[in-house]
């Protein structure tokens, strides 16, 4: 299990109610399950988001296959203007 921080941008930040928070998860899929629990609006927004893990795009990889290293930073990026 890795610990790190997740940063929310734009609509994801508004839906989460915070700019960033700590996490404890082994994969991006596990992290997404944990951070959206009891947060319906964040879960809805996250369906449209792209993700960076320590600055590297996750792309189309299945989130359960994206391993999070200890101290990793996950950026949650909703579509921005024009995207």
Q: What is the pLDDT of residues 63-79, one digit of tens each?
A: 999 999 999 999 999 98
Domain ranges across the chain: 2-77
The pLDDT assigned to 25 comes to 97
Which parts of the chain have pLDDT scores under 50? 83
What is the structure's pLDDT at 7?
98
User: 2-77 sits in which CATH class?
Assistant: alpha beta
d(CA 31, CA 22): 10
- Centre a 10 Å sphere on the Cβ of residue 11 and count the other Cβ atoms it contains: 20
Evaluate whether 28 touches 14 at the Cβ level (below 8 Å). Answer: no
């Amino acid at each position: 299990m890795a610990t790190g921080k997740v940063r929310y941008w734009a609509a994801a930040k508004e839906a989460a109610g915070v700019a960033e928070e700590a996490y404890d998860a082994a994969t991006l899929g596990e992290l997404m399950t944990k951070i959206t629990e009891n947060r319906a609006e964040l879960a809805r927004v996250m369906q449209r988001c792209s993700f960076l893990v320590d600055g590297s795009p996750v792309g189309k990889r299945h989130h359960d296959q994206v391993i999070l290293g200890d101290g990793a930073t996950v950026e949650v990026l909703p579509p921005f203007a024009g995207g």
